[in-house]
Amino acid sequence: MTATLLTRLLPPAALSAEEFGDIPDAWLFPEEAAVLSRAVERRRKEFATVRHCARVALTVLGRPAGPMVPGERGAPTWPEGVVGSMTHCDGYRAAAVSRRTDVAALGIDAEPHAPLPPGLLARIASPAERNHLATLRHARPALHWDRVFFSAKESVYKAWFPLAGTWLDFREAEVTLDPHRLTFRARLLKTGHDPEGRPLQVFHGRWQVSRRLVVTAVAHGVTPMSRARGRTPRDIPYGMLHGAADGGR
């Protein structure tokens, strides 16, 4: 449950939890279970496990966890005053949450550290971005830079949508990866504003490759304490975590 992969990617105001496999007895609210009425078993397990992660993180944050039903564009619903993000891929499920007063938006994504399917990069990257990735591949060919790039764009979208409330195409965010600081910058090419009317122009994020996974995170609008690591259940007394994992319905 300790979010070892997300720890270095998030600010201290964010709390995260992760699993490297499905939890057989992870429970769902009836509203959540109804969403899966036609889903295959694999989908049901990953859906339940990633929400288990979210409930643990929310409980440690001090917020009761209600049903987290996918809303518009599949974005999960969060308790009032909370921002969050979920992600899952083969062998990994994770969630991150924060109070809205501390972080305006969160976006996390995990992907297998493997090349993108043929032809996908050309559809999601501009010529300038493809040149940037070619330079990175030449310098460090062991890394699948196209997958890091894709994951960064996914995190950008997950942070963008709750703020702007509109779709953001892959080509509407220009991403630059820093191979030394393990950070990235996304210049937003689409006009958008947060709920307070402030323009959304640039997102900053962090990335890492570990355990055959690529993990990326964006934390936008962070109050001044943004560089230290985020909190995980490891930082919280065991009794609080035990209650979060075993119930709370």
Question: What is the model's pTM?
Answer: 0.88
Task: Return the CATH class of domain 1-103+228-249.
Answer: alpha beta
User: So what's the pLDDT on residue 231?
Assistant: 53
User: So what's the pLDDT on residue 248?
Assistant: 32
Domain with CATH 3.90.470.20 in the chain: 104-221
At residue 193, φ and ψ (nearest 5 deg) are: -135, 150
**Cα–Cα distance, 221 to 227 (Å, whole number):** 13
User: So what's the pLDDT on residue 1?
Assistant: 56
Q: Across the 249 residues of the chain, what is the mean pLDDT of every consecutive 10-residue run?
A: 79 95 92 90 93 95 90 85 96 97 97 98 98 98 98 98 95 98 98 94 98 97 61 44 35
Binding site for CoA: residue ranges?
A: 43, 51, 87-88, 109, 154, 158, 168
Q: What is the separation of C-alpha 68 from the centre of its chain, rounded to a whole number of angstroms? A: 15
Q: Is 35 exposed, middle or buried (0-12, 13-18, 19+ CB in 10 A)?
A: middle
At residue 225, φ and ψ (nearest 5 deg) are: -175, 40
Q: How far apart are the first and last CA of the chain?
A: 19
User: So what's the pLDDT on residue 38?
Assistant: 85
- For the chain, where are the E strands, in sequence order? 15-19, 82-89, 92-99, 105-112, 173-178, 183-188, 202-210, 213-220
Residue spans of alpha helices (H) in the chain: 30-35, 41-61, 120-124, 127-139, 145-164, 238-246
**Cα–Cα distance, 172 to 191 (Å, whole number):** 9
Binding site for Mg(2+): residue ranges?
A: 109-111
**Cα–Cα distance, 82 to 67 (Å, whole number):** 14
On whether the 104-221 domain is CATH 1.10.240.10, my answer is: no
**Cα–Cα distance, 132 to 201 (Å, whole number):** 20
Binding site: residue ranges?
A: 43, 51, 87-88, 109-111, 154, 158, 168
